[in-house]
């Protein structure tokens, strides 16, 4: 985890936040008549110290996985960090600025006490720095949580797309692409010649595709469902082969509840037609027979 973020958007927001804080500080000093060289220098020195403090929070937030903390535990962490870093920031500012203005500061009062002045300056301004750092931290936590939520939604969408792709891939593996192409092509020509037969083919193809997609989510299917798919497939192939395909089904109802791997019967019939009947000039008959033993 890098201490300095590379995201351009982060630095835009950080620059806007510092500009706002500097504006508030200078405006307050101007309204209360304390805008002088010391205040300007302190404000300029405060900017890099403040930036290091908030970057430190960001680094700890990600490095220590404070992202996993519940809000009830995260709030005290943010308050504690902003308190310590606020006083540290003002101590750093005092160290950088006061040596240049120490003579002017010490001569401002006859009873000037160095320790008392430093304590009041660091503690008083530290509370203000604590407020700004804490506000920044809570805004960052909210923004990071919103970003994680968006990333979660994107990941969910990617998973859904992967699932759809897997379903389509499964469909392509279960149904011969040439069969789909020939069926759609026959429907296109039949629409103008025999609308009712074209409609029946569309319904049969729709049932076949729906069952293929649904069955890819299950390991087994009832024989009755497989036989319905077989009838839809045969009705399509009969239209394509016309009188060259004869089909007989002899399966007793007592075994219709038996479980089968999905699309097995359809695959067997497809192979029988492709490698058998289609090679015969006059076609032939395919029989599916079942027995209850």
Per-residue pLDDT of the chain (293 residues; tens, 9 = 90+): 678 888 888 888 888 877 887 787 778 777 776 667 777 888 788 888 888 999 899 999 888 888 888 888 889 999 999 989 988 888 888 888 888 877 776 766 666 677 776 777 777 778 888 888 898 899 888 888 888 888 888 888 887 877 666 555 555 555 667 777 778 888 888 887 788 888 888 888 888 888 877 776 666 888 888 888 888 888 888 887 877 888 888 888 888 888 877 777 888 888 888 888 888 888 888 888 888 77
pLDDT at 25: 74
Asked whether 38 and 97 are in contact (CB, 8 A), the reply is yes
pLDDT at 4: 83
pLDDT at 68: 84
pLDDT at 169: 57
pLDDT at 176: 67
Between helix 195-215 and helix 177-193 the angle, nearest 10°, is 150
pLDDT at 35: 67
pLDDT at 1: 64
Task: Report d(CA 257, CA 261) in Å as an integer.
Answer: 13
pLDDT at 118: 74
The DSSP result for 91-130, as a single string, is HHHHHHHHHHHHHHHHTT-TT--HHHHHHHHHHHHHHHHH
pLDDT at 81: 92
Question: pTM of the entire structure?
Answer: 0.51
Domain coordinates of the chain in residue numbers? 8-170, 177-289
Token digits for 53? 């403090």
pLDDT at 271: 83
The H or E element spanning position 259 is strand 259-260
**219 Cβ partners below 8 Å, 6+ apart?**
261, 262
Task: Report d(CA 186, CA 183) in Å as an integer.
Answer: 5
């Amino acid at each position: 985890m890098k201490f300095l973020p590379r995201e351009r958007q982060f630095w835009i927001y950080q620059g806007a936040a510092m500009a706002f804080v500097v504006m508030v500080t200078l405006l307050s000093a101007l309204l209360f008549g304390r805008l002088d060289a010391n205040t300007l220098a302190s404000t300029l020195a405060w900017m890099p110290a403040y930036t290091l403090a908030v970057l430190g929070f960001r680094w700890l937030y990600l490095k220590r996985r404070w992202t996993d903390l519940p809000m009830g535990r995260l709030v005290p962490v943010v308050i504690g960090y902003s308190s310590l870093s606020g006083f540290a920031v003002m101590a750093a500012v005092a160290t950088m600025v006061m040596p240049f203005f120490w003579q002017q500061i010490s001569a401002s009062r006859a009873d000037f006490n160095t320790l008392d002045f430093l304590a009041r300056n660091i503690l008083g301004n530290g509370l203000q720095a604590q407020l700004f750092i804490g506000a920044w931290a809570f805004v960052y936590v909210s923004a990071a949580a919103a970003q994680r939520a968006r990333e979660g939604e994107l990941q969910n969408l990617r998973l859904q797309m992967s699932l759809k792709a897997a379903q389509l891939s499964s469909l392509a593996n279960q149904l011969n692409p040439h069969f789909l192409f020939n069926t759609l092509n026959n429907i296109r020509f039949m629409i103008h010649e025999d609308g009712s037969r074209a409609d029946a083919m569309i319904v049969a193809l729709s049932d076949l595709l729906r069952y293929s997609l649904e069955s890819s989510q299950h390991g087994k299917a009832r024989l009755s469902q497989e036989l319905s798919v077989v009838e839809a497939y045969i009705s399509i192939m009969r239209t394509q082969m016309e009188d060259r395909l004869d089909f007989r089904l002899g399966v007793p109802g007592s075994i219709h509840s038996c479980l089968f791997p999905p699309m097995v019967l359809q695959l067997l019939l497809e192979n029988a037609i492709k490698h058998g009947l289609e090679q015969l000039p006059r076609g032939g008959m395919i029989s599916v027979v079942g027995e209850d033993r």
